[in-house]
Amino acid sequence: MTLRRHGIRDTRVLQAMEETPREMFVEAAFRDQAWADTALPIACGQTISQPYIVAYMTEQLEVTPTSRVLEVGTGSGYQAAVLARLARRVYTIERHRDLLEQAKRRFAALRLSNIETRVGDGHRGWPEAAPFDRIIVTAAAAHPPAALLDQLAEDGVMVIPLDAGAMHQELVRIRRTPGGFSRERLIPVRFVPMLKGVGRRGKRG
């Protein structure tokens, strides 16, 4: 794997990635490409992020063994599975029920028992389980959703891809400070859009 060469230094993140069999999270037709450093299609017209982006976002999220983490956009479940090895508990929301059901089967097969899942619109967050020490959004939004900012704990960190002009997005890290929020721009990225409401069966997007 080339993650080290690409500058991923956090050994806990590298180990969590090594322990998570990416081939279980991709479609059978793409299994031979599972570790290629590229995004791959999954069901419902969505994608699993390339390994480097998963590693980078995980590193920038500064997860600790006591962290309670919210993920918006479960997709294949791969990012959640990596986070589950680093955090105390992961709460993950997906708007497509079919994707979530598949992801849940993978979590069970890997005996990852510290992941809670829900079908829903991530714009609303997960109020009953808030506040979260860490929030990771894996679909692109125009602005950080207000409910997610509300549900970020004091000193909490959120990593989210935000629209930055036509066809451009940048990964942004938001920290909750005693006086409000601070923002840092990280790297340019490309994610599928964060959509409103829950997905309809058989429909892409």
Nearer to ligand SAH, 28 or 155 (CB): 28
Buried b (16+ CB within 10 A) or exposed e, 133-157: bbbbbbbbbeebbeebbebbeeebb
Binding positions for ligand SAH, rule: CB under 6 A: 46-49, 72-73, 75-76, 78-79, 93-96, 99, 121-123, 138-139, 192, 194-195
* DSSP-assigned states of every residue in 128-182: GG--EEEEEE-SBBSS--HHHHHTEEEEEEEEEEEE-STT-EEEEEEEEETTEEE
Residues acting as catalytic residues: 49
Least distance (Å) from ligand SAH to the CB of residue 4? Answer: 21
Least distance (Å) from ligand SAH to the CB of residue 46? Answer: 4
Contacts of 13 (CB under 8 A, 6+ apart): 55, 58, 59, 82, 86
Nearer to ligand SAH, 125 or 179 (CB): 125
Nearer to ligand SAH, 21 or 155 (CB): 21
Least distance (Å) from ligand SAH to the CB of residue 39? Answer: 9
Nearer to ligand SAH, 84 or 157 (CB): 84
Least distance (Å) from ligand SAH to the CB of residue 179? Answer: 29
The span from the CA of 150 to the CA of 127, in Å, is 9
